[in-house]
Structure 1
């Protein structure tokens, strides 16, 4: 062993210890290594910083943006709602549907983002069904990890391994090369969790907690109850002969205080249906169902509807709750020095200035009954406003007369571009098709998809920049130089010789098992991306020394890098569900370790079958 290699190993060991201790942050460790590696004399500054020019780093950043577009258009949340509807009261059916949906979404967007989106959805389902979060949070994290085995772009380690194959002069993986293995693991994972959920019995820490959002934040249900709005929702159908048929929504004379949240519209030949945003220029049709919220009670309400040809339909639940993806609520107070103190609700001008409607008023801790237009607002009074989420969010940035109180928990689940969902799905399908066919490089397909999503209004620039998880990118950039340094100092060759000396005479499947076990073990202590950076060159060098195709060895590393089931700190998705599920370290070890062995068997048996050692 030469001094240069020893110096690189000391830095690598220090980085590994800091990664395992989570002190300092992973991205800080990565930047520290970028600063120290050129000082060793092993790599030049250009070689150390080459990761910033790696196409896969740009590709991963683009995929974060695409995932955010799927969230902003409400696709992910609607999927969660559908899961709850199809599952009914069956916990087993819920686990199956949840794992399939999370794995499918994770195949095209960040698994960490998917879990973050689904945690409030799962908590809501748990409260509705009376199920302990302990039985659902671990299936959620397991499915997110398995999603990394379903497509080339599903997780950063796949791209790292693919890039290492290309750098070594071998053919890389196709978009769906890893998919058969992932599907096998997913089916086994679902069956395993249906059995293992009995080990997770008991109440979760999050059971019975407040609705999703910031800790302690009130949700729509609490606000609706506090302002006594639970009897103000209506479903009104435009009947035959109604003067509203053919009129634009802005021209519809529905009366003061009638707020149209959305319109239910039948599909062709009366089949199916869809929700249409309540835009002023929307042309109403006979048979449309108006989803209406009343700012105050209407005397002689049924007669009012009858005069404009509206039929009142049955309603279950709260429309405000159902439309919380697009329509927001917020509480406002008047600032102590506001010139609006003492003015009436109508004189506040919120409808004209901010584009929101005042639907509730509380004075002295009690809701004031409507109509509210002539009620005067004093110091300490709070008003509840309703409007599209972008406008509600802007209220928090308005200075001067108003003080915006904490937004409800549903603000974290809002879908401000919900009406762009079909466009987002179309762009996603085009991107996957381009990647699968190889017509253009993957990074070009992803960047083109980002541009299209922006042009179609599925995401804005501010949201795109916020969506990129910079620590993940820095970890990749910071660890890539180690692979180059280990090659130049003979570290990779040393590792390959060690494995060959210990297992070179064993059958190739045994070598795959050892490679898988080593990768999975390292992945328990450092990020799976860093693990792939270190182990991919070893796997390829091992294959070359054995005179075998590198594909099965590289695939084994990719599969093992996503097998982080046995520790809550092995992957961010496990860490995210730790609190809501009320889990301990032992829970992950008890459930995750046996399934890691299952995935090892899949790698040893299925990988050589589909990717033969002979190439």
Structure 2
């Protein structure tokens, strides 16, 4: 049996366990990483390498910084301000949160945006007396949507330009704001979907997590001085992330250390604030994503899809099929890996049809960012898993419709903005 087939079988088993939750999600992920080694898909020294991944470190740091905002009372104070602006209604708050997250994600990392806004949203929910599970998933979805608006909204966006340059077509590379032609429409459509349809698919309650947090915070005194210190820390972290002075994970860890040293929270509170389910879930799936790439499993799926299209496919069919393929892959692979895998395929298919590759590439880029139907498809989804008390099926229920909305908007808008057969000047 080839490594690619082994990897696909493993992926199917993992998907089944995720959906049914026969065993806890984190245990499935860690078990999958061990299985990757047992099947010879990754070396022994890489089984738990995901625990040292920069994104996992970012998660840990931002959990502590976020907790500091709660223990000082800053999150509740900011939340109160947002509630006064948008009201205490679940719908108006959802709209405000998604708009803020999308705008921030357009120019900041969508992961960093989600990490920074989680404590604020938790504070909003506590102030408005609504369940955080009703607002945190929309936050993550909006961050993912906003990341499609610019070249830097999500780092893998630039991979299309890399692929075009490698194919000898640097003149066709995408500009910084060119993504906005499709990014803004799908962001608007996504927000509308969540406001009118998606909200009915969200869980009604997130269990006891919020109550436990609130009770613990009520036992702590907060002071204005500590709120100011915590605010300065958060502004410093966001500023560092925005300017790129230091890597995201460094900014988060330094912020966490300063928060403890300045007494915004105790060392014990910092340890307790880290959601280990999120850490192990994301870290455990990194070897699986790596195996998908190195074993050739992802390539095998792509080749089978291309073969299925036949010898003379319609550009619209190619775009729709590659969109669907990218969406499926990105639920379990990193969007960086799925884009890197499919961009060259898209360029080759475009050349075969005599069409411009820009429309096909943009469909791949957008689809690879539509990892809404799984908690492991994108870091923002993983970040809200613990605080929102979500299950795997919650993402599948609310996220699948959002993916469908993005597909419909993309099929309509992309060929208009980037024609398959542009007329020469």
Question: What secondary structure, in the 3-state scheme, does the structure 2 residue paired with 1:107 have?
Answer: helix
Q: C-alpha separation between the residues in 2 aligned to 1:60 and 1:141?
A: 16
Q: Which moved more, 1:550-559 or 1:55-64?
A: 550-559
Is the Cα contact below 8 Å between 1:19 and 1:29 reproduced in 2? Answer: yes
1:427–1:199 distance in 2 versus 1, CA, 3 Å: closer
Please, which of 280, 305, 311 is the counterpart of residue 474 of structure 1? 280
Tell which structure's C-alpha radius of gyration is larger: 1
Q: 1:149 aligns with which of 135, 145, 149?
A: 145
**Distance in 2 of aligned mates of 1:452 and 1:166:** 39
Structure 2 CA distance for aligned equivalents of residues 425 and 513 of structure 1? 45
Shift of 1:185: 4.6
Q: 1:561 deviation in Å?
A: 0.6
**Other-structure match for 2:18:** 19
Alignment of 1:121 with 2:127, yes or no, is: yes
Query: Distance between the aligned counterparts of 1:46 and 1:414, measured in 2?
Result: 43
Q: Distance in 2 between matches of 1:13 and 1:529?
A: 11
Alignment of 1:559-578 (within 5 A): 559-562=369-372
The match for 1:97 is 96
Residue 174 of structure 1, CA deviation: 12
Partner residue of 1:445?
251
Q: Which sections of structure 1, spanning at least 5 residues, go unmatched?
A: 125-132, 215-406, 580-584
Relative distance call for 1:592 and 1:11 in structure 2 (3 A) is closer
Structure 1 residue 517 corresponds to structure 2 residue 320 = no
Secondary structure of residue in 2 paired with 1:42: coil
**Aligned match of 1:389:** none
* Rounded Cα–Cα distance in structure 1 between residues aligned with 2:179 and 2:46: 30
Q: 1:476 to 1:138 in 2, by over 3 A?
A: closer
- Bigger proportion of residues as strand: 1
| Post-superposition offset of 1:560 | 0.7
Cα-to-partner distance string for 1:40-80 (whole Å, 9 max, x where unaligned): 23332124343334323222322322322333333332233
- Out of 235, 259, 267, the position equivalent to 1:429 is 235
Q: 1:66 to 1:12 in 2, by over 3 A?
A: same
Tell whether 2:100 aligns with 1:71. no
CA-to-aligned-CA distance 1:254-278 (integer Å, 9 cap, x gap)? xxxxxxxxxxxxxxxxxxxxxxxxx
What is the rounded CA distance, in whole Å, between the counterparts of 1:179 and 1:6 in structure 2?
A: 38
Q: Post-superposition shift, 1:30?
A: 2.0
Task: Work out whether 1:45 is the aligned partner of 2:44.
Answer: yes
Secondary structure at the aligned position of 1:560 is classed as coil
Offset of 1:150 from its aligned partner?
Answer: 3.6
CA distance in structure 1 between the partners assigned to 2:219 and 2:319 by the alignment: 43
Q: Could you tell me how far apart the structure 2 residues matched to 1:34 and 1:199 are?
A: 35
Post-superposition Cα deviations, 1:209-242, rounded to whole Å, max 9, x if no partner, equal x9x725xxxxxxxxxxxxxxxxxxxxxxxxxxxx
| Residues 424/116 of structure 1: CA separation in 2 closer, same or farther (3 Å cut) | closer
TM-score norm. by structure 2 comes to 0.67
Asked if residue 109 in structure 1 is aligned to residue 107 in structure 2, the reply is no
RMSD of aligned residue pairs (Cα, Å): 5.2
Greater displacement, 20-29 / 547-556: 547-556
Give the Cα–Cα distance (whole angstroms) in 2 for the partners of residues 611 and 425 of structure 1: 44
**Residue of 402, 406, 411 corresponding to 1:599:** 406
Q: Distance in 1 between matches of 2:384 and 2:12?
A: 25
Aligned to 2:342: 539
Distance in 2, matches of 1:413 and 1:148, equals 35
Please list, as runs of the form range in 1=range in 2, the aligned pairs for 1:224-373 lying within 5 A after superposition.
Answer: none
In the other structure, the counterpart of 1:492 is 298
Instruction: Describe the SS at the equivalent of 2:42.
Output: coil
Report if aligned partners of 2:144, 2:370 keep a CA contact under 8 Å in 1: no
Aligned to 1:354: none
Query: Do the aligned partners of 2:323 and 2:407 also contact (CA within 8 Å) in 1?
Result: yes
Distance 1:408 1:606, change over 3 A: closer
Contact 1:114 1:144 in 2 (8 A): no
The whole-number CA distance in structure 2 between the counterparts of 1:176 and 1:52 is 35
Determine which structure has the larger helix proportion and give its number.
Answer: 2
When residues 113 and 100 of structure 1 are mapped into structure 2, their CA distance, relative to the original with a 3 A threshold, is same
Q: Deviations over 1:276-309 (max 9, x none)?
A: xxxxxxxxxxxxxxxxxxxxxxxxxxxxxxxxxx
Number of matched residues?
385
- What CA deviation, in whole Å up to 9, does each residue of 1:122-163 have, x standing for no partner? 336xxxxxxxx8xx97566424421233459xxxx967x579
Kindly state the Cα deviation for residue 497 of structure 1 after the two structures are TM-superposed. Answer: 0.9
Cα contact 1:48–1:481 (8 A) shared by 2: yes
Higher relative contact order (Cα pairs below 8 Å, separated by 6+ residues): 2
1:323-343 deviation digits (Å, cap 9, x = unpaired): xxxxxxxxxxxxxxxxxxxxx
Secondary structure, in 3 states, of the residue corresponding to 1:213? helix
CA distance in 2, matches of 1:426, 1:177: 34
The TM-score with structure 1 as length reference comes to 0.49
Q: Using the TM superposition, give the Cα deviation of residue 461 of structure 1 relative to its aligned residue in structure 2, in angstroms.
A: 2.6
The answer to whether the Cα contact below 8 Å between 1:30 and 1:474 also exists between their aligned partners in 2 is yes
Deviation of 1:196 (Å) = 5.0
